[in-house]
Amino acid sequence: MEKDFHFYVTYALAYKAGFSSQESRNIAYSSQYLDDNNESQYPRDDGPPEFPFGIRTSTGFFRPIMTQSMSVKSLVYEIQKFVYVPFHFLPGDNNRPINGELNKYSTTPDSKNARDVLRSALKTKNPYRIGIAVHTYADTWSHQNFTGYEEDWNSVFHWRNPFRSIAPNIGHSDVGHLPDEISSSWNDYRLEKPYRSRNNKKNALQACKRIFQELRRGQKGKLYWTQVEKDFRQIINAEDYDDRIKKVKDYLNEPNLSYREEEWIDKAVKGRKGEDIQASADFINTDWYNFQLAAKAHLVYVLDLLKNY
């Protein structure tokens, strides 16, 4: 999904589920920043930095991790295993065959693994960890039936065809951004006809319901889904991306609600270009630092969860 869901809708879901405005914003920002915490956050004249690299602190170096990759490094197996799979394409319940085959790494909406990850995050009461887990959980609807690895399984148009499209078959690259665009509908030609049609609005509303229910239970919120369903249905059924964001702002009466991807990192470091990136004086108290710790904890948890895969 895109920013309209990962930040704006997630903020509304968290707030209505009982989190404070600040907690909801940290949850929502963490959810969206999971996509933006990639090579572009550390620009260099000669291209993306080599990971791992360090941010110089008063006691040594702090080494951040990537939670998304938008470069040719996506072709590297380690990026697929340690970035795409744990954060965006969590293996699910292995219950939807494609061409008669099953794939245990295929993402399934509302899978047991996804619920486990979100519920464990909620127990920590850490809004950064919760936001990351909400993103991963939401992606199980938009990324369903895809894996985070480069493999023929992900080829929508050219299953086992040596003359397939030029895009590497990692995740849903074969169909571009279609699975993430809430206002779009499309066909997944790998599936049999009863399951081929994909209505993203329907999937997004299902994701809203389950995210709200999990957040409400974890926070012991007072509202029930039946009390907010109509409001979120109107938001999801908005005409397009911009209209959806406007509807969230109107719904919460927060016209200034916004997201800027450099906001957290700019407060954490002094400059982001070159070899020597310096930490700010209040580094360990910044949202960005806490997001990084939460992302590492999420990664460790998921790797343990998938240790037998």
pLDDT one-digit tens code per residue, 202-214: 999 999 999 999 9
Q: Give the gyration radius of the chain's Cα atoms.
A: 19
DSSP 162: T
Residue 44 has pLDDT above 70, yes or no: no
Residue 279 has pLDDT above 50, yes or no: yes
The b/e string for 88-125 (b: 16+ C-beta within 10 A; e otherwise) is: bbbbbbeebebeeeebebbbbbbbebbeebbebbbeee
| 53: confidence class by pLDDT, cuts 50, 70, 90 | low
Side-chain-side CA neighbours of 308 within 13 Å: the count stands at: 2
User: Residue type at 65?
Assistant: I
Residue 242 has pLDDT above 70, yes or no: yes
Local structure of 82: helix, strand or coil:
helix
Residue 257 has pLDDT above 50, yes or no: yes
| 273: confidence class by pLDDT, cuts 50, 70, 90 | low
Task: Yes or no: say if 198 and 179 are a contact pair by the CB < 8 Å rule.
Answer: yes
pLDDT given at position 160: 46
Question: In sequence order, which ranges of the chain are alpha helices (DSSP H)?
Answer: 3, 10-16, 21-36, 77-79, 85-87, 112-124, 127-142, 193-196, 200-219, 225-236, 241-252, 263-268, 287-305
Local structure of 164: helix, strand or coil:
coil
Q: What percent of the chain has pLDDT over 90?
A: 77
Q: How far, in Å, CA of 158 to CA of 164, rounded?
A: 5
| Per-chain mean pLDDT for the chain | 92
